[in-house]
Amino acid sequence: MKDWNVCGRKYWGFDSFQGLPNPVNEDQQGSLITGAKGQFAAGLEQVKQSFRDFGLEDPTLVELVPGWFNESLPNAAVKHIAFLRLDGDLFASTHDALVHLYSKVVPGGLVYIDDYGGFNGCRLAVDTFRMVHGISSPLHWIVEDEERHHDALHLQLGRVEAVWWRKGGWRDEEWYNP
């Protein structure tokens, strides 16, 4: 991260550090993973130690913000985002992150959503948000075992793990301003 930070950007990490929140009704829709409260928990101190192990304890480079997204994101000090990477897994987490952070993604910035192909709620949150806000930038799929699947015909043989898109410019219909 230090080597790639030629612009002096700050990296923000928002997490509950308690695992997943309670799934909601939207997480139950579909045939993908539902998720469970507390799943994937990693404590704040454990994560900080991992950063120290890699020499990334510099608070001017990385700031970790504990809390549920609906509590920590509305007043987040983040002003502009060049690369938004979300790993909320569930509907409410993914939805809250998009609602509070998408407007901060600069035109031309990238949005990467992990677990879009694995969790019901994540996919529904992304698809609903994009539809409601008229986001027409194409979704690019990140497929597990992609090296074995080189064309759209064989794409269904791999599992879509994540998606990404580039945010359009200020004149595009997708410029989201709540």
pTM score: 0.83
Q: Are 166 and 110 in contact (CB under 8 A)?
A: yes
Cα 143 to Cα 3, 60, 92, 120, 156: the distances in Å are 28, 34, 24, 17, 9
The matching CATH number, chosen from 3.40.50.2300, 3.40.50.410, 3.40.50.150, 3.50.50.60, for 11-167 is 3.40.50.150
**CB-based contact 141:160 (threshold 8 Å):** yes
Kindly report, residue by residue over 7-61, the tens digit of the pLDDT: 677 889 999 999 999 999 999 887 677 888 988 888 999 998 988 898 877 778 8
Neighbours of 131 (CB within 10 A): 10
Read off the pLDDT of residues 73-113 as tens digits, 9 standing for 90 and up.
999 999 999 999 999 999 999 999 999 999 999 999 999 99
Q: In this structure, are residues 105 and 113 in contact, taking their beta carbons and an 8 Å threshold? A: no
